[in-house]
Structures are given as C-alpha cells and as structure tokens.
Structure 1
Amino acid sequence: FGFMNGSNYYDELTPDVTSYDYDAVLTEAGDFTEKYEKYRQVIGKYTQLPQVHFSSKIRKKTYGTLKVQEKVGLFEALKDISVPVKNTFPIPMEKLDQSYGYILYRTALEREQNLEKIRLWGANDRANIFVEQKPVAALYDRQLLEEVQVNADFEAGATMDILVENMGRVNFGPRIEYQRKGIEGCVQLNGHMHYNWEMYTLPLDNLEKLDFTKGYEEGRPGFYRFTFEVEEAGDTFLDFAGWGKGCAFLNGFNLGRFWEIGPQKRLYIPAPLLKKGTNEIIMFETDGKTAPEISLKAEPDVG
C-alpha cells in the first residue's frame, strides 16, 4: 500500500504496481487461485495433504458508482498542505526531510519570454511541467536525461511549476546509488541554468487540510472527493477507469497508485479499512485526466 513499492532498473525504470502478489498462489485478498490447486495436485502425488478451510468467510461487496462531490486544484490548495523552502538551486526531496510522494518546484521566469528547450538535471522519476499553470510537458525516466523541445510563450515574470513524482526506489543493482527523488541537479531553460526556486514537499500525509472551496481548473492536477455509506464491511476494489495518473486515499489511508497504462486496473480495499457509516475517498490526479465517477466492485480486475 501507499508509496512503498520498489522498482527494478535495467534499461529503464520499471516500478512495481500496487497489487504486489507476483502471481502468487493466494490473491492479495486471500483467495485460493488455480495455481494453488495445481500445486496441491503435484505435491499430493508424493504426500497426504490435509484439506484447508478458511476459519472465516471472506466477504466481497460492490458499493456501486460514486460521483465526484468536491474538487480542488493542486495549485489552489498548495499552501494549505505545504510550506515552501527557498533556494538558489532545486533541492531533492530527501534533503528536505521527505521520503515519498511528490515535490513541486516553483520559479518566476523573469528573463524569459518563451520556452523552447528544457532539461532537468538529476531528476527522478516523472515530471509534469507547467507555465502559468498550463501543461507544457510530461517527462518520464529516460526522457529526463535529455534536453527536450517545448513550446510556451508568456510574458516576463510568468510562473513555472515542475511537479515531480517519486515512483518507487530501485532496490537492487547499480542504480541503487542514484535514487535521489525530485531534482538533485539544476534546471536548464533555453540552454542556460535557471536560478531561484521554491520547493513544496508533498508527501500527501495531511489531506485533512484540503479546502475544497479554493478553486479548480480542468486539465490540471487536483484532488477529488467522494463519499459512500457502509452498513456491512466487505473487501472491495476501486475501479479508476477513465482516470489518468495519481494515487487514492480511503479515510486518510493511502491505497496506492493508479495509472491508465496498466497493468493494474483496480486497487484492493480490505474490509477492515472501511468503517460503518460514511467513508471518504480522495483521488489525487496529476495529469488532469478524470472521469465524473469511480466504482467500488466485488471483483479484483476486468482482465
């Protein structure tokens, strides 16, 4: 759960998904799989196997479709959930006493009147770049190693924001020593280094501070609030079809990440995380791609 997934790195970053059973003989919800039965057949040829029965019934429930009730933009909510740190150069999240989540870098483009080229030196793992809160580019992993062409015209003094996501630290191999998250080096704009930054750490462990009256713009990062009622708690699965990329929280508990590219299509919600009465889900969506709803279903995936 949460941001605790690891990652492999051979020729490219390959983070582990939130559903973490590695095709095990039991599902993350504790159910027997076909593989479990095959294991029993093979091992049963050589020894007497007891029949295993659950001591309690695993209940799974569908809680239906939930409509967005409230929403607020990240830029509008930023100062409610983070306090900026100023520095000449960007600072990685670890040097700001942050281990997981996101970090946002903000600066004023005082001497620029357009943006044609950008390079983020020492950046990990995924960066959404905005000028005047409008999306300019989204760069992931190997794309962060190169200078990229962009196209943004603006007046001097415009604000640039770079939202960087820690997608999971590499946990073995030669890349294990290069796991600073955020931006460890510098930001190069139109061929020269850019100075004077504000850093907003976003571990997202204080979402109770969100004020959903602060404002919202479509197509930008934001927080989306849902509620639903529970009479009887059962395991359920959050279906995020139609959403882009981000993470989900249930009653303040970080369920993990979602990303439209897959392979995971639903997030597991164990019954003990639910409470009788009103429950709250908050979706943080970084790419501005949303649907008007999410669903809570009794099955883990759609294939």
Structure 2
Amino acid sequence: LLSAGASVNIYMFHGGTNFGFTNGANHDHAYEPIVTSYDYDAALTESGDPSPKYHAFREVIARHAPVPDEPAPAPSRKLPPTAVELTRRVSLLAHASVLAKPVRVDADPVTMEELGLRAGYALYRTTVPVSGDGVLRFAGGVGDRAQVFVDGAPVGVLERERHEEALPVRLPRAGATLDVLVENMGGVNYGPRIGSRKGLLGPVTFDGTALHGWDCHPLAMDADAMDADADADADAVGSVPFASAQSPAESPVDAGPAFHHGTFEVRTPADTFLSLPGWTKGQAWINGFHLGRYWNRGPQRTLYVPAPVLRPGTNELVLLELQATTEPRVHLTDTPDLGPVKP
C-alpha cells in the first residue's frame, strides 16, 4: 500500500481505557460486555508506552517515507511493585440505604431507567409471604446480572448472557427478606438492542405467587449521587458506608457484596497496574477515581492506574467486591496483564 502511494489508517494507534462505567457491550449471538481495558494491542499501549507494534510500524514506514531522526518515546516511569492490605469491610446489603434512599413500589419492581439510573446497580428488596422450596421466576429476565439473597445469604445468580429467568430457592420462613442486586454491565453499542432496559424487567413470582411491595435502591456508585442522597461527605466512593458502619472492622474475607478499604503510601506518583488475584467480581476506586470493573472470568487481569490518579503520601483504595475474595490483599504492579490477544 505504501509503495503504491495509498493512504493507510492505523486502528487503533493509541489504546485507551473504559474507566468507570463507560464500557459498552457487543451483541452478536449473545450479550457480551466489553472489558475495562481498551488497550486493543495498539501501537501505543493503554498507558502510552510504545509497543512492539509501534516499532514495527516505524520500521516499515521508514522504507517508504521520511521518519523523525529522534528516537522512539521511552515508556513511562512505573510505580515500584506494592502490596495493599484492605483492612476494613462494610456490607453493601446492610448499608444500601446510606448510598441511596429506596424508592417504594407497591406492585412489580421497576427498571433501572424508571429509577433514573444510567449506570451502576439497583438493589431490589421485598419480603416473601410464604416459605418452603420453590422457584423464583423473573419474567423477561434481568439486565444484566442479578445476585439473589434470602435473609442476607446468597442463593444464586442470573445472567442475561445465559438467558436465565428462573432460580430454585428455599425460603426458611414466611416473611423472609428477598434481595436482588442487579448490575448494569454495559449498554449494547450498535444495532436494534441499543437502549435495552436494565434491572428487573418484569414481575417476580415464587411458585406462582406474585411478589409485590419492593424497596428499590438506585445505586449509581458515583460521588455526586451519594452526596445527593446522604448527609455526608462523599469525596471518595465508599466513604459514606464506611463512615456510617457501626463495625468498621468486619471480617474482610466474609462472602457477599461489600466495600473493602485500604491505604498505601506513594513517594512519587507514576503509572501502575492494579492486580487482584483471588478477587471475584466488582469495581475499583483509587482516591475516589473510578478505575472500572474487574472480573476473574477474564481475560483482563489488571486495571490501569494513571499516575495523576495518585498523590504523594497516603492513597486510598476501595473495592466493591460482589462475591468473595480468598485474601484481603491486592498488588500494584509495573506490568499489565490483559490476557491473550484475540485473533
């Protein structure tokens, strides 16, 4: 192409990051949320470093056109590897009302859109008037992933990508509390499914008994939303539930959705990558900046932390872990791990 004098478009030249909740989703044969990283195996990596592809492009282009005499840019300086202990844990289910005042719905649950929620999570809570073994049915399914709890104990997960709408459960007593935590995992980017609804998408029944009277918590998980909903400082995500918790030293390895908090020291800020071995699924914030989501399903294993997110001295890390971790520790590394390159 270059020999013929044709134009060449490089896609992508500089990789990027879907920070926060900005990732979208594909939907070819099934719903497929996009990972947090948008490194894309680009010539310049997610952190701006020249990749082997950059040098290959430069070598080929130099055969056909002038290139600058100066050397290629050097990789950015990286933070020394650091372990971070997360010593405080606060349950999400127990403190949901601190993050968002519930919206009371007397009949069937409403969608996230009806709650005014663009991204994040919605917690739906009701009581079940019967007991025994039976099947919970979610008419229309869920958008996009729902964790189900009975009296605070996890009983199952429903996922949109698997077209799941029913879950067998045991209700220990009449009047048991049913919690359904639904995650919006990203809107479809193209085609007829743009604008697909999120949350609980229809009536919920237990063995044919309609479950009504829902408290719906719109959990935006951003500082502005928390500050609007609670009389507390929300400069950093997670500060509201930590400030209100009666026992900030809850066991950090208990299962269930929870905020985990830790601090680490930085002498001079530099780029780094957050590695979460042993953690399952959730969101990460450093100094109130929402890095994005992680999932041990992969392929991505680290989250990019840009140097400007850090500050000299003490830095705060908050994780919202939706399930459980094998140990309350994470690592800041100098090398990204984005999994295998997709052919």
TM bin, normalised by shorter chain, reads over 0.9
Residue type of the partner of 2:199? G
**CA deviation after TM superposition for structure 1 residue 186, in Å:** 1.6
1:96 is matched with: 115
Q: Is 1:128–1:163's contact at 8 Å kept on the other side of the alignment?
A: yes
The answer to whether structure 1 residue 106 and structure 2 residue 136 are counterparts is no
**Distance in 2 between residues matched to 1:301 and 1:158, nearest whole Å:** 43
**RMSD between aligned alpha carbons?**
1.9
SS in 1 for 2:315: strand
Query: Taking structure 2 as the reference length, what is the TM-score of the superposition?
Result: 0.82
Query: Taking structure 1 as the reference length, what is the TM-score of the superposition?
Result: 0.93
Structure with the greater relative contact order (CA < 8 A, sep ≥ 6): 1 or 2? 1
**CA deviation after TM superposition for structure 1 residue 290, in Å:** 4.4
Q: Which runs of 5+ in 2 are unaligned?
A: 1-18, 227-237
**Distance in 1 between residues matched to 2:323 and 2:48, nearest whole Å:** 33
1:138 is matched with: 157
SS in 2 for 1:247: strand
The number of aligned residues is 300
1:118-267 to 2 correspondences below 5 Å: 118-122=136-140, 123-148=142-167, 150-177=168-195, 179-205=196-222, 206=226, 207-211=238-242, 213-215=245-247, 216=250, 218-267=254-303
Q: Is 1:103–1:163's contact at 8 Å kept on the other side of the alignment?
A: yes
SS in 2 for 1:37: helix
**CA deviation after TM superposition for structure 1 residue 115, in Å:** 4.3
**CA deviation after TM superposition for structure 1 residue 222, in Å:** 0.4
Which of 269, 283, 299 does residue 319 from structure 2 map onto?
283
Residue type of the partner of 1:68? L
Offset from partner CA, 1:69-99 (integer Å, 9 cap, x none): 2111112221211110111211111211111
SS in 2 for 1:38: helix
The 4+ residue runs of structure 1 with deviation greater than 3 A are: 51-57, 142-146, 212-217
Distance 1:6 1:52, change over 3 A: farther
Which of 14, 25, 28 does residue 10 from structure 1 map onto?
28
Q: Is 1:121–1:145's contact at 8 Å kept on the other side of the alignment?
A: no
Residue type of the partner of 1:214? Q
Residue type of the partner of 1:188? T
Offset from partner CA, 1:205-242 (integer Å, 9 cap, x none): 13321236435471111010010111101101110110
**Distance in 1 between residues matched to 2:325 and 2:61, nearest whole Å:** 48
**Distance in 1 between residues matched to 2:161 and 2:34, nearest whole Å:** 17
**Distance in 1 between residues matched to 2:291 and 2:70, nearest whole Å:** 30
**CA deviation after TM superposition for structure 1 residue 3, in Å:** 0.5
Distance 1:171 1:96, change over 3 A: same
**Distance in 2 between residues matched to 1:290 and 1:52, nearest whole Å:** 48
Residue type of the partner of 2:303? L
Q: Which runs of 5+ in 1 are unaligned?
A: none
SS in 2 for 1:211: helix
Q: Is 2:50–2:73's contact at 8 Å kept on the other side of the alignment?
A: no
**CA deviation after TM superposition for structure 1 residue 153, in Å:** 3.2
